[in-house]
Chains A and B, each alone.
Chain A
């Protein structure tokens, strides 16, 4: 069974469109995260969320917003996509603020 899953695996879209990436974890974790990995493989935290608090990295544009329908899901919505948004986006989860995080397989977003 997949612990952290993301859909879609690949997403190709036009500039200006709005898109969503879904993430689900079946580990029973209560904290979930979104990371962005650029073309140089640098990983950067975007959001961290549990049912009490959303922590936003100050460098993330407000076109990006996480939405959590329940504890097992944290979806990423992106409005007005720009060329620079092209990257691989990873979802992760952990138990509380425990540092060990488990990552999904990633979604490669390409904005044309």
Chain B
């Protein structure tokens, strides 16, 4: 399967700050997904991206599908305490295939918000 490099590994920010994280791959992806995992819970899908260059928002979250198809970015504006958690990027195991083989995940970005 494809390897996804996600950064930063962790972020310590103040409430109200904006957050940016990204994910890169050495191979082309046709789909980028962003998930959030709260402690003791399963990952929850935040945003799905299907087209190179696509910019999609979900409330205070905005994600972009890189034009090279090898990267994606997630931004969170005006962070609040409930944004704390682990954010994962993900894509199809085969990169450019469908999801039937499962997803490959980045190693996650731990977001910690200081009040």
Which residues does A use to contact B, with CB under 8 Å?
4, 31, 33, 35, 40-45, 47-48, 50, 53, 55, 57, 90, 92, 94, 96-106
Report, nearest first, the 6 A-B pairs whose CB atoms are least far apart: A45-B102, A97-B98, A103-B42, A99-B99, A97-B100, A43-B105
Give the chain B neighbours of A102 by CB distance below 8 A: 45
Q: In whole Å, how far is B60's beta carbon from the nearest beta carbon of chain A? A: 21
Interface residues of B in 80-98 (CB under 8 A from A): 86, 88, 90-93, 97-98
B51, CB-defined interface residue at 8 Å: no
Which residues does B use to contact A, with CB under 8 Å?
1, 31, 33, 35, 37, 40-45, 48, 86, 88, 90-93, 97-105, 107-108
Give the chain B neighbours of A35 by CB distance below 8 A: 102
Give the chain B neighbours of A103 by CB distance below 8 A: 35, 42-44
